[in-house]
Structures are given as structure tokens and as C-alpha cells.
Amino acid sequence: MQGSATPARIASRQWLVVAALIAALTAMRLIYAGVIDLRTDEAYYWTWSKESALSFLDHPPMIAWFIRFGTAIFGDTNLGVRFAGIVAMLVTQLLLADIVRRVTHDARAVVIAVLMPEAALYYGLLMAKVSPDVALIPFAVAMVWALVRLHESNDARWWLAAGAFAGLALLSKFTAIMLLPAVAAFMLVPKWRGRWLASPYPWAAALIAIVVFLPVLIWNSQHDWASFRFQLVRATATHELSFRTVGDYIGLQFGLVGFILLPVVLSGVALTAWRGYRRGDAVAILLSTAVIVPFGYFFLKSLSLRVGDTWPMFIWPAGFAATAINISMLSREGWPAWIVQSTIRWARIAIASGIVFVVAVFLYYVVAPWNFIGRADPIGGEAGYQQVVARAEAQLQQTGATWIATTDYRTYAMLRWFFGDRVPVIQINERGRFEGFRDPGMDAIRGRTGLYVGREPDHISPVWRSTTAIRQPLERVERSWRGIVMDTYALEKLTGWTPELSPEKDSPLYRPRTLALIPPPAQRWGGWHIVSAANDVTGGGCFSAFNSQMVC
């Protein structure tokens, strides 16, 4: 009896160690979420959480609901804005654990699946940074989990749960549609295709997904399908071949997934795809296709356009599950012992080295006083707005200005974050971003002096020609992080003009900047510097605007 109990005690201790490690790393993410300055896009999504609009130009509304959930608990604090991302990470891990458990019944494979996200920088630390992708990831994994339950139980009602999760994924980000080929392959490639083609459940699942997605459809039907047209510009844009953008894409995957973990996952996905399509294994087909199709699509887009750092992040959890399952299957399928042991060893090395790297990055941003990356630092590049806000507040008092104007949504978002409802902040251009937003307080704006705060060279934007504003330069403010100047801002006094919240759609004050990006080389256009690389890891860059030109 004593001998038989020993393995159980050993297993129990191992699970306690894993649980303690995950708890410690979760605490690390909570600290990071609480002490690191909000990035500009996080503040932008926070402004959405204060509105009652059904959807938004840039993305569906789920991220705003996530933030509203966190701030309802912790208030308008850094942790409040980011708290839902911490929860999303834990939910994703639980779902991955259950997927792998149901497929393999192998505790070692479950541990690998749970720890792989901890070893990837994006999930292990940067899931604390809220974005639409953070909202998408748990719902995408939940949809896959529901289909695994369907395969396990043969209960067609799981299609309905999968449809609900698919709708929630679409409510998070439009790129969820890239999982449709995986679902179609799961349904049609195995021999059970005839049953599902004739069954009402898959079609009911599609209907449920559409019903859940209705807020976005309703909002877009009321606003000339603005979100879809805005995003399709990027999806359909093509430019000349650029090795730089390909390198950016591949390099970001190595950096955010792991220099060792990424090859481990790709090899696991490849073997899972081979196994799935060769044998008609529905789960293997689902997991591998959920990675291969989006990864291939983004690779093709990277041949001419820059792929954003977070865009492919919804695909790798399926890759983690596929890799963990593959490790369990190798020994069962009679592969040579050296291959099985080598695969397990590289997975362990990837996890251990990845966790060390994640902790090192955490310590660099939270504890270290240095800046080793300069102006390109992805976190420091968006820190230090308190310096700008302090000078803006001083100028409000000195000039008697009652409102603030900007010409960039990032600056707008950060000023909204710091000033709250104390001072109305208006982005005077790109008004298409603010469809359905509440009145910012026009009584404090109309006929009153304003203060313009603009990142240079935004302050010389041609949109000012569409206004009657009289601009009086006041001062220039540097925003710095750890001793390095990241940006310079112009502060100007505004008189003689009241901003228009709802300009005509053909007005230069209405049109949002287009998302199609042009790769190098840099050019000149009308005095503006035309460059590539927007929506990058720093959140800065330039955008295509006004006759499809790149405007910084």
C-alpha cells in the first residue's frame, strides 16, 4: 500500500509545483499590469469603455466590455484597464489543459500545454496589455474546446456552444474569421462529413454566431459599413515585395512566442497536420489548420505589408495544444525512443528558457533603471505622458483655455486618460472614429479658448486648413523615458473656432487614416515624409492617408 501511494504523492507534489509556478507568474503579470504606464492603444480602448456605442470603427466592442469589467472592480486604474487580460490568460490555460487532457489523458502533456503560454513573452507577460487580441484569444480557444468536446462525446449539441464562442470571438476581432477553414476541415475532411452536412446543428451554430455578432452588424448598417470598409483596405492592399516586412513578421514571432519555443511548436503543428490529414483525425485537423492557415495568410501579407505584432497571436494557443498532444502521441505510435526523448527535451528547454526570458523582461521594465533599446523601446516609447499632461495643465490655467484639441488618436487617448472628465478633449480630425460617442461637453467648448496638444510634426497637419482656428504657439514639451527623449509635443493656444463633432463624410476632418501600409523606401510628398512601418510594436509610426499617401 505504501509503495502504491508513492507515485500518487509524487504526482500531487508535481501539480503543486506547477500550480505554485503559475500563481507566481500570474502575480508577476498583476504587478506589471499595475505599475507599467498604459500604452496609447490601451487608453484608446479605455475611452471606448466609457461609451454606449454598439461597436466602433476600428474593432468590435468586446475589448471595451473587457475593460469595463476590470474598471468596475478596480476603478480607472492601470490594473482596472488590464485586469481582464490577466483573467483571459488563466481561462486560456484552463481550456488548453482540458483540451489536452481529453485527447491524451496524459498528465505530462497537460503540464506542457499549460506552461507553454507562460514561456511565450506575449502570453506570459504581454497578455497584461489589453487589446482586441486579448479578448479574441480565450473565445477562439473556447470554440476549439467545444469542438473537441463534440468529437469526444459525439453529442451534436456541442456545435451550438462552438457557434456561441465563434460569435464572441468575432465580437472581439474580425480576424476570428480565419479560423473558419479549420472548422470547415474539421467538419468535412473526416469520414463523418456526411452526417454533419445533413445535420441541422452545424448550420444552427453558424446562425448563433451571426446572432451574437449582431451588435457589429447593426452598428455598421447604421454607419455605411464603415468598420468593414476600414479593415478591408488593409486586407486587400498589395505593394511591392519587401524583405524587411517579411523579416519583421518572422522576427516578431520568434520574439513573442520564443526563439526555441516557436520551432518546437511549428514542428509539433507540422506532425499534427500530417497525422490528422493522413488518418482523418478530426481534432488533429482542427488544431493544425487553425495554425497553418492564418500563419500562412499573414506570411503572404508580410511579403508587401507590415503585419502587426499582435495579429497572429490568436493562433498559437492551438499550436501549444497540438504540440503537447503530439509529444504524447509519439511514444504511443512507436516512434524511435531517441526522437521521443529529443522532442520532450526540446520542449522542456523551450519552456524553461522561455520563462527565464519572460521574467527577465519583467525585471527590465519594472525594476531596472536603464534603457538599452533607445527610442525603439516598445514600452518606453509610449511612457512619460505625465510630463506632457503637467505642462498642458499649466497652460490651461495660464491661458484660460477650457478644452483640449489633438490631431492624433493616441495623444487624444492619453489626454483623456489623464484628464478624465475634468477637461473636454477633442480629436478634431478623423471624426469617423467617434461615431456614436457621447457629447464631450460642448458648453465648455463653444466660443471658448482651446489648447492644442500635438506630437511634432502633427501640429503642421494640413487639416488645419479646413478650420478657421487662430493658433498661437506656446511651448514645446519633451516626453522622455529613462533619460531618452521619445517625442516632442507642440502646445498652442486656439481661438476663433469651435470644432465640429460630426463633419460631412467628404470632409478631411471626418476621414480616418487608411490602414494599408507602404513598405520602404522612404519618399517625400508635399513636404511630408513618407515612410513605412505603422501600428508597430511601439504603437507609433505612420499611416496611409489623403490619396493613399503615407503621412507621419
For the chain, domain boundaries: 12-366, 380-510, 513-552
Average pLDDT for 50-58: 95
pLDDT, position 236: 72
The answer to whether 448 touches 403, Cβ cutoff 8 Å, is: yes
- Percent of the chain at pLDDT > 70 equals 91
What is the pLDDT confidence band of residue 514, given thresholds at 50, 70 and 90?
low
Kind and range of the H or E run holding 343: helix 337-366
Is residue 235 scored above 90 in pLDDT?
A: no
pLDDT of residue 13: 86
The pLDDT tens digits of the residues spanning 176-195 come to: 999 999 999 999 999 999 99
Helices (H) and strands (E) in the chain, counts: 20, 9
Compute the average pLDDT of residues 385-407: 97
The amino acid sitting at 39 is: R
Rounded Cα–Cα distance for residues 55 and 76 (Å): 21
Q: Could you tell me what percent of the chain has a pLDDT over 90?
A: 82
- Residue 5's pLDDT is 59
Distance of CA 172 to the CA centre of its chain: 10
User: Rounded to whole angstroms, how far apart are CA atoms 137 and 233?
Assistant: 24
Confidence of residue 343 (pLDDT cuts 50, 70, 90): very high
Residue 5, CA atoms < 13 Å, CB-side half-sphere: 2
Q: Is the pLDDT of residue 167 over 70?
A: yes
User: What does the pLDDT read at residue 233?
Assistant: 79
Q: At 10, is the pLDDT very low, low, confident or very high (cuts 50, 70, 90)?
A: confident
Asked whether the predicted pLDDT for residue 266 surpasses 70, the reply is: yes
Q: Please give the pLDDT value at position 456.
A: 93
Please tell me which residue, 205 or 331, carries the higher pLDDT value: 205
Q: Identify whether the C-beta of residue 330 lies closer than 8 Å to the C-beta of residue 313.
A: no
pLDDT of 418 reads 97
pLDDT beyond 50 at 545: no
Task: Indicate the residue type of 8.
Answer: A
CB 265 within 8 A of CB 320: yes
pLDDT of residue 200: 97
Per-residue pLDDT, 240: 79
Reported confidence tier of residue 530, pLDDT bands at 50, 70, 90: very low
Q: Tell me the CA distances in angstroms from 461 to 420, 464, 545, one per residue in order.
A: 26, 6, 12
Average pLDDT, the chain: 90
What DSSP string runs through 211-233? Answer: HHTHHHHHHHHHTTTHHHHHHHH
Question: How does pLDDT run across 440-459, given as a tens digit for each residue?
Answer: 989 989 999 999 999 999 88
Structure confidence at residue 513 (pLDDT): 73
- Given a cut of 50, whether residue 267 has pLDDT beyond it is yes
